[in-house]
Structure 1
Amino acid sequence: MSKPDSAKGSSKTPAAKKLKLETSDDEPSSSRTPSVDSGFLASVELKRKQCAGNILEFKFNKKRCRLLSKSMDLGNFGGGVLYWMSREQRVQGLEEVEAECQKLQIEFHLLKGDSQICVPNLIKKLKLDAVVADFSPLRVPLSWIEKVKESIPEDVPFCQVDAHNIVPVWVASDKQEIGARTIRKKIHDKLDEFLTDFPAVVTHPHPSQTKAKPVDWKAANAYLEVDRTVEEVDWITPGTKSGLLELSNFCQKRLRLFGEKRNDPNVAALSNLSPWLHFGQLSAQRCILEVKEYKAKYAKSVDVYIEETLIRRELSDNFCFYNPNYDNLKGAANWAQETLDVHKKDKRPALLTSQQLEEGKTHDDLWNASQIQLTRTGKMHGFLRMYWAKKILEWTATPEEALRLAIYLNDRYSLDGRDPSGYVGCMWSICGIHDMGWKQRDVFGKIRYMNYKGCQRKFDVVAFVQRFGARTYPIKGVKYE
């Protein structure tokens, strides 16, 4: 069961790009239908069976859950337990979930509307004994949880499971961490306990007496309140199966390059798994379990991948969970707020409009190419995201406006928009989150600076610009490096 992101009563932030079931020549790595055969999928299923033949044989770590109700005593209604998904699957991946649930004799209900009304109504209708919700640290999903908590009967146990992080965010740390250096050991010390394989999922031994209605997926798609002027991308296939195959492709073809070439946007070295991870169609835990098997062959690449997918990613959830101002300047460290304020009135080398930025028509051809990549493919190379956001700070009137625009563009066009990693990425680039103070300079103050020449030293800028057909747009009075 899921509440679509854009269902009525949800956040009004711009909808991220949708996934389309076709391919394109735009992306060099995962743009093709995964070429790996079903052998990898079979191996994953075998590992699950070897872990535990079914969920009853698996020793579930209760630390993954937190109790939201006063009691966890199950009722005697006999209606079963509701697993409420909101972060861990989205509409297009849910078609695959519905089909799998039917095979497993698990009833799948797609609810449309306000969760505080839909969930309690379903509990009452089906006489459910308990509710388990997934976890997101962002304020809108957290508000859904609080409203449902207030709306369901007190005698119905309600708990939340962090299925997104390997180490649950409330277990990894009980406070906002300063940076990767302070959370790294805390997470690594708990991996023996939490980085486990998954048990097999078997046919439910007690079929429900109340059958769910088949979902009209065309109607569900039409119901979504999304910005349909943002075109669908065509290089990626949604769903867990496709995500697993792309994971196999990464391990076999690109992992060997990841350690040395991940910051070169002209080399197909990245995993390209963030859309599946964001939409809950692939777990970071599965990714790391598979990548670790290549440690003997590609030690550096494996270590760097674990650092980014485990430490940096879970640091982002930590920041958003413990800092309610994760998307505005009040969430920055005191030193960063002070330095940005001191330099707030510094003369900018250029003042660009939101339209110039959104259309990729600036005086910087690399920035324009990065923006074109984002709007055309729904993703931007990780290294360029930093450069991209920092230039928005340099070209807008205030840091507040820069952060607003960076978040807006990322959330509107990126497949992994509206994600803790996206907010932290913008906050790191513009507000110095999880970073330190650097040499003072105009506009940036002590915030880390990046420039065009630095990019030229790292990779072939001309090749990247040409790949996306970008060019410069001369702006009166602006001289560019």
Structure 2
Amino acid sequence: MNSERVRVCNEKPIDANKPYVLYWMQAYRRFDANHAFSHAVQLAKELKKELIVYEGLRMDYPWNSERIHQFILEGMFENQTRADELGIQYWPFVETSENSGKGLLKDICKDAAVVVTDDFPCFIIPKQTSQLAKKIQCQLLSIDGNSIIPLSRFPKQASAARILRLWIHKEIQKDFPNPNVTIWKKEDLMGVKGNSKTNPKIGLPKSISEVIKRIPFQNQVSPVKNVKGGRKEALRFLDEFLKQKLNLYLTKRSEPNRPELTATSGLSPYLHFGWIGLEEIFYAVLKHSTKGKWNPERMSHEKPGDRENFYSPSVACNHFLDELITWRDIGYLFFWKDKPENINLNHLPDWVKANFVKHNNDHKEYLYTLEQFESAKTHDEIWNAAQTELVHTGRMHNYMRMLWGKKVIEWSKSYEEAFQILEHLNNKYAYDGRNPNSYTGILWCFGLFDRPWFPERNVFGNVRFMSSESTKKKFKLNSYLEYIGELSGKSNSLFP
């Protein structure tokens, strides 16, 4: 394991007298191609200990809902099947009103020689990790499996994608990282099997639908029909993207359309919950675009920072990998150093803050409440379509998401209220919400990672402006709007 990926979270020792190594699966909910799981296996073998994998699902996380819960549970059931195939001890826990998780993980850690977990920099995970590190008596290690390059290599946040792109390209050329794309076999894990007794609270329910009925969700959001969590779905989406959409990515990815006609991967929720790794996608895309002949020497060593040509001869491939790596990493790096529990507008650049002070009292032609936004009841049919897609499908087309965010800023009483509305709607409905890129995507609408734009405008000042009128001119929206009409059960004539 590359030491750059390992962070010691407390000053306590490894306890060689305890029977097992515990992998606490928090963010990267898979066994294969997982740096943290691999490190836990390595430690178990070195210490000659059993390996236990604990995956828990609490019921009180912020923005909890039946939609998100079912998605996660589907992945947990798959993990149980995979653990059985590999012959390893997998301890899943699903909290309900009758089956409280209070103190459970601490109790499990009493017999751990060392605990390994995922170093995910956002949402509730950093706080959960730091709290457990203080409570337990053994060492807790947090493993960065977030991207191709360990995030510890970067000395600070990047203020723009063009800057981070240059950093990434130079780092890859200087010292190409050792990827983890390990697909485990049962014989690989023979030395870490054991028979430690589980806590009686451990185990998956017989039925996802039955356990969901026993959870008092704060948010009533239904699962989306035909959307399923888990690694098998992630790999299916990747295969479909490679075969049908990758070559169209450059020219068609920004055009709003039905999902099956949109040249995007659909992998964001599966990356967020860790059922597939960025490194897996990276290599699959490059092997596909070079017919299996890719290696690091095929990268362009002449122009670090060039997103058109750096990774492979395929421009479409390079643009996808730039989104996958540069634009994803800029969000993760934004959270990485400080791991703030609460994100707000204070995290914006000074030039944006100055704009908002200047334009705080600008006249706004339209003002809407959270309830009006949530129910897609604005004057703007294009915005309503984007919100309808989010509510009904748990996703939103990438271009529409930018327009969606900009309009909420324009139609809210204050910038702070706009941020809170966007955070709530995105995290409540989106399968890929509650993620570093969720927050930096929202903050991009306020000017993060962007530059001043001219002329200066009402409400936005020099922050980039977007309009539904220009979107109508830029794209043929008939197919997209017909699709939204079908989702909402409304006549297509509502969308001329």
In the alignment, the residues of structure 2 paired with residue 194 and residue 346 of structure 1 have an alpha-carbon distance, to the nearest angstrom, of 50
Secondary structure, in 3 states, of the residue corresponding to 1:133? Answer: strand
| CA apart distance, 1:181 | 1.9
After superposition, the Cα gap between the structure-2 partners of 1:160 and 1:368, relative to the gap in structure 1 and judged at 3 Å, is same
- Paired position in structure 2 for 1:279: 273
Ranked by relative contact order (alpha carbons within 8 Å, sequence separation 6 or more), the top structure is: 1
| Alignment match, 2:20 | 80
By how many angstroms is 1:312 displaced?
Answer: 0.6
Q: How does 1:331-342 map to 2 (within 5 A)?
A: 331-342=347-358
- Following superposition, the deviation at residue 116 of structure 1 comes to 8.0
Let me know the Cα RMSD of the aligned residues. Answer: 2.3
Residue in 1 that maps onto 2:9: 68
Q: Is the 8 A contact 2:181 2:279 kept in 1?
A: no
User: Are the equivalent residues in 1 in contact too, given 2:19–2:112 (CA < 8 A)?
Assistant: yes
Unaligned runs of 5+ residues in structure 2 are: 30-71, 292-312, 492-496
Contact 2:115/2:141 (CA < 8 Å) preserved in 1? Answer: yes
Give the drift of 1:227: 4.2
Question: Contact 1:243–1:281 at 8 Å: present in 2 too?
Answer: yes
1:446 aligns with 2:462: yes
State whether structure 2 residue 404 is matched by structure 1 residue 420: no
| Superposition map of 1:56-135 within 5 A | 60-70=1-11, 74-89=14-29, 90-111=72-93, 117-124=103-110, 127-135=111-119
How much does 1:74 deviate? 3.5
2:192 matches 1:202: no
CA pair 282-220 structure 1, distance change in 2 beyond 3 A: farther
Q: Deviations over 1:276-318 (max 9, x none)?
A: 1111111111111101123348811111111111111011011
Structure 2 residue aligned with 1:216, among 205, 216, 233?
Answer: 205
Q: Which residue of 1 aligns with 2:447?
A: 432
Alpha-carbon distance change, 365 to 426 in structure 1, aligned in 2, over 3 angstroms: same
Residues 258 and 305 in structure 1, CA contact (< 8 A), matched pair in contact too: yes
Distance (whole Å) between structure 2 residues aligned to residue 152 and residue 342 of structure 1: 50
- The match for 1:381 is 397
Mapped pair 1:270 → 2:264 = yes
- How is 1:182-261 mapped onto 2 (pairs within 5 angstroms)? 182-191=163-172, 193-194=176-177, 196-203=179-186, 204-206=189-191, 207-212=193-198, 214-216=203-205, 218=207, 221-222=212-213, 224=215, 226-227=217-218, 229-261=220-252
Q: What is the CA–CA distance in structure 1 between the aligned matches of 2:169 and 2:147, rounded to whole Å?
A: 13
Q: What is the alpha-carbon distance in structure 2 between the residues aligned to residue 306 and residue 237 of structure 1?
A: 25
TM-score by length of 2: 0.77
Match for 1:140: what amino acid? Answer: I
Gaps of 5+ in 1: 1-59, 473-481
Three-state SS of the structure 2 residue aligned to 1:468 is helix
SS for the counterpart of 2:116 is strand
Question: C-alpha distance in 2, partners of 1:194/1:402?
Answer: 40
Q: Which range moves more in the overlay, 109-118 or 253-262?
A: 109-118
Q: Deviations over 1:162-197 (max 9, x none)?
A: 1232222222x1222212122223223333532625
Q: Secondary structure at the match of 1:110?
A: strand
Indicate if the aligned counterparts of 1:406 and 1:426 stay in contact, CA closer than 8 A: yes
Matched with 1:317 is 332
Cα distance in structure 1, aligned partners of 2:458 and 2:474: 24
For the 8 Å contact 1:91–1:221, the answer to whether it is kept is no
Q: Does 1:136 align with 2:120?
A: yes
The TM-score normalised by the length of structure 1 is: 0.79
CA deviation string 1:110-141 (max 9, x = no partner): 245688833221022xx221100112212521
Alpha-carbon deviation of 1:386? 0.3
Would the aligned equivalents of 2:124 and 2:341 in 1 still touch at CA under 8 Å? no
